[in-house]
Amino acid sequence: MTILGQRIRYLRRKANLTQAQLGKLLGCSGSTVSLYEGGQRSPDTDMLVKLADVFGVSVDYLLGRVADPNPKDDHRCSLEPEKGWSVAEELTPEGAELLEVLTREVRKRFSKKQGS
């Protein structure tokens, strides 16, 4: 298994996603995700960017070039409620759709009402 495959698997499991669920978010099949994780196939540049965006890490982290998954730069967007989620206005339709899917999943998994 490659460092890229290890990191994809680690991040997917950390996000509590199946290979099929991650594939759906990325626009590919679960078997393709499995091939990435096993090192039998390498994602192209566009897919690397999608993976980094889905997991909130840098492409350099995925490729094993840096150890810190969370780069400390000003290019990452903030989704703080007081900022009104205005980041969606800057996204392509595909990016906005992905943000909507992820937002629903986060709300479902981490809703304050869950424990009540």
Segments making up each domain of the chain, as ranges? 3-62, 81-110
Task: Inform me whether the pLDDT recorded for 8 exceeds 50.
Answer: yes
CA angle at 21 for the pair 76 and 68, rounded to the nearest 5° = 35
- How big, in percent rounded to 5, are the helix, strand and coil portions of the chain? 60, 0, 40
The pTM assigned to this predicted structure is 0.62
Taking residues 66-80, what's their average pLDDT? 61
Per-residue pLDDT of 38-70, as tens digits, reads 999 999 999 999 999 999 998 999 999 888 887
User: Considering the domain 3-62 in this protein, what is its CATH number?
Assistant: 1.10.260.40
pLDDT at residue 76 in the model: 44
What tokens does 53 get?
A: 């965006």
pLDDT higher at 79 or 51: 51
Alpha carbon distance 10, 59 (integer Å): 15
The per-residue pLDDT of the chain, averaged, comes to 82
